[in-house]
């Protein structure tokens, strides 16, 4: 039995999937660090160790298509870490404090370079393509749902939970930006305290 | 009496001040709309109606120096409008709701294009020059002081007022970004409601 052709095609498919994944992850990292405008498709190829032809093979739509895919990747990755961190505490008020602390730690580890999420990127890029705009709006909606599920499990009514979840995410986003500007975890620590106080006023 | 030489030099000085001012305002507008990276110094000259040589005459440090000056201009302009809006209501909880509404109206008027303030710009630009970093940090500090003065006049203790002021600004910043992504005033309206609830819990 000669398995070589199939094995080769599986290996090829795996290599292709690996290359595609590497391009997406590299794009996500560069977008988070430098923004959309400052990230070039040649730089993406170079840092992902992929030929430019390979980048266009996977993403014929170029930087816009690639950025939308990178945003979806960041969305999933971020939602997963958000859920995991919130799950470390039963009480949602404490969970939000824990989450604010983890954002502060991540930012400090990156020497205040990475964005907490990607609203800033959104601002730069959202008006460039409907696909990116949609990926960004979906991500915002997704994260808000993760937080509102947590709040509802603690007995907060659906409408209140949805609105609170929006403010939790927006406050942490704004506090994360301030933390980067002043290079201190203080804005995130204070945001955690205030958000837990706000959440408690609903429970 | 021949007043011409002096009159001419005053006119020249006024024209120069006018040109400089126009360059700074144009830079501020472009930075707010397109970010630092996407704003070119040639474009600034063109849109300000100033020769490139004139731009470099006023700002020998080029785009970095000009951006820092534009940030200081935005800082003053924003602080003034923040103070004026907060002064429309005696009660700080109501004042913050009024301010959130005015941000939402401004954003809607700009077809969701302008940033509320410039944290997003900060994120893109803060690591490029110490002068810009300082102008941004000064602005954040300045706006926070405007809000904390308002809170203290309502009897909130100094430490609480300072921390609350930070969260007010950061929450509105994050909500403004979300409003742009989802193209709706809802995040800012909800932020106003939550912030006023939080402020009331301290009065």
Q: Of the candidates A120, A166, A180, which has its C-beta nearest B190's C-beta? A: A166
CB-based contact, A172 to chain B, within 8 Å: yes
Q: What is the mean pLDDT of residues A51-78?
A: 93
* Pairwise CA distance, residues B200 & A198, whole Å: 11
Cβ atoms A104, A178 nearer than 8 A: no
Q: Of the candidates A140, A167, A180, which has its C-beta nearest B123's C-beta? A: A180
* Mean of per-residue pLDDT scores for chain B: 88
pLDDT digits over B114-129, tens only? 654 466 676 666 667 7
CB-based contact, A160 to chain B, within 8 Å: no
Chain B, window 98-117: residues with a beta carbon less than 8 angstroms from a chain A beta carbon: 113, 115
Q: So what's the ipTM on this one?
A: 0.82
Q: Which residue has the higher pLDDT, B130 or B74?
A: B74
Asked if the model's pLDDT at residue A59 lies above 80, the reply is yes
HEC per residue, B41-66: HHHHHHHHCCCHHHHHHHCCCHHHHH
pLDDT at site A114 = 61
CB-based contact, A74 to chain B, within 8 Å: no
* Pairwise CA distance, residues B54 & B44, whole Å: 11
Percent of chain B with pLDDT over 70: 89
In angstroms, the separation between the Cα of residue A19 and the nearest Cα of chain B is 28
Q: Which secondary structure element, helix H or strand E, spans residue A62, and what is its range?
A: helix A62-86
Q: Which residue has the higher pLDDT, B8 or A55?
A: A55
- Triad B31, A122, B118: Cα angle to 5°: 35
- Residues of B whose CB is below 8 A from A175: 166-167, 170, 174
Among B121, B156, B150, B116, which residue's Cα sits nearest to residue B135? B121
Q: What is the mean pLDDT of residues B152-157?
A: 96
- Residues of B whose CB is below 8 A from A37: 34-35, 37-38
Report residue A3's pLDDT band, with 50, 70 and 90 as the boundaries.
very low
pLDDT digits over A82-105, tens only? 999 999 999 999 999 999 999 999
* Mean of per-residue pLDDT scores for chain A: 88
Report residue A118's pLDDT band, with 50, 70 and 90 as the boundaries.
low
Q: What is the DSSP string of chain B?
A: ---HHHHHHHHHHHHHHHHHHHHHHHHHHHHHHH-STT--HHHHHHHHT--HHHHHHH-TTHHHHHHHHHHHHHHHHHHHHHHHHHTT-SSHHHHHHHHHHHHHHHHHHTTT-S-SSSHHHHHHHTTT-HHHHHHHHHHHHHHHHHHHHHHHHTT--HHHHHHHHHHHHHHHHHHHHHHHHHTSSHHHHHHHHHHHHHHHTT-
Estimate to the nearest angstrom the gap between the alpha carbon of B96 and the chain centroid: 17
Estimate to the nearest angstrom the gap between the alpha carbon of B103 and the chain centroid: 12
Report residue A112's pLDDT band, with 50, 70 and 90 as the boundaries.
confident
Q: Of the candidates B126, B163, B178, which has its C-beta nearest A190's C-beta? A: B163
Q: What is the mean pLDDT of residues B171-179?
A: 90
Percent of chain B with pLDDT over 90: 62
Cβ atoms A37, B120 nearer than 8 A: no
Percent of chain A with pLDDT over 70: 89
CB within 8 A of A88, min separation 6: which ones? A95, A98
CB-based contact, A201 to chain B, within 8 Å: yes
CB-based contact, A200 to chain B, within 8 Å: no
- A·B CB contacts under 8 A: 139
Question: Which pair of structure tokens corresponds to residue B73?
Answer: 């201009």
Report residue B36's pLDDT band, with 50, 70 and 90 as the boundaries.
confident
Helices B62-86 and B92-109 cross at an angle (nearest 10°) of: 130
pLDDT at site B65 = 93
- Residues of B whose CB is below 8 A from A169: 174, 178
pLDDT at site A34 = 78
Instruction: Provide the whole-model pTM.
Output: 0.83
CB-based contact, B164 to chain A, within 8 Å: yes
Report residue B109's pLDDT band, with 50, 70 and 90 as the boundaries.
confident
Among B11, B43, B2, which residue's Cα sits nearest to residue B26? B43
- Residues of A whose CB is below 8 A from B191: 167, 170-171
Among B81, B75, B74, B92, which residue's Cα sits nearest to residue B165? B92
Instruction: Pick from A10-14, A51-55, B174-178 the range whose average pLDDT is largest.
Output: A51-55
* Pairwise CA distance, residues A58 & A68, whole Å: 13
Cβ atoms B56, B65 nearer than 8 A: no
CB-based contact, A130 to chain B, within 8 Å: no
pLDDT at site A86 = 96
Q: Of the candidates B122, B124, B181, which has its C-beta nearest A122's C-beta? A: B181
- Residues of B whose CB is below 8 A from A187: 166, 170
């Amino acid at each position: 039995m000669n398995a070589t052709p199939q094995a080769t095609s599986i290996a090829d498919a795996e290599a292709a999937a690996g290359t595609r994944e590497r391009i997406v992850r590299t794009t996500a990292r560069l977008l988070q660090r430098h923004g959309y405008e400052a990230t070039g498709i040649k730089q993406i190829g170079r840092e992902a160790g992929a030929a430019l032809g390979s980048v266009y093979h996977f993403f014929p739509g170029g930087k816009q298509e690639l950025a939308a895919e990178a945003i979806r990747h960041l969305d999933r990755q971020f939602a997963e870490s958000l859920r995991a961190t919130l799950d470390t505490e039963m009480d949602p008020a404490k969970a939000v404090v824990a989450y604010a602390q983890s954002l502060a730690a991540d930012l400090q580890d990156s020497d205040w370079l990475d964005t907490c999420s990607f609203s800033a990127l959104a601002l730069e890029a959202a008006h460039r393509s409907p696909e990116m705009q949609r990926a960004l709006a979906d991500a915002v909606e997704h994260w808000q749902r993760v937080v509102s599920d947590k709040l509802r499990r603690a007995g907060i009514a659906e409408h209140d939970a949805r609105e609170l979840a929006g403010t939790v995410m927006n406050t942490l986003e704004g506090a994360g930006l301030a933390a980067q500007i002043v290079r201190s975890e203080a804005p995130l620590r204070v945001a955690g305290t205030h958000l837990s106080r706000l959440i408690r006023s609903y429970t």
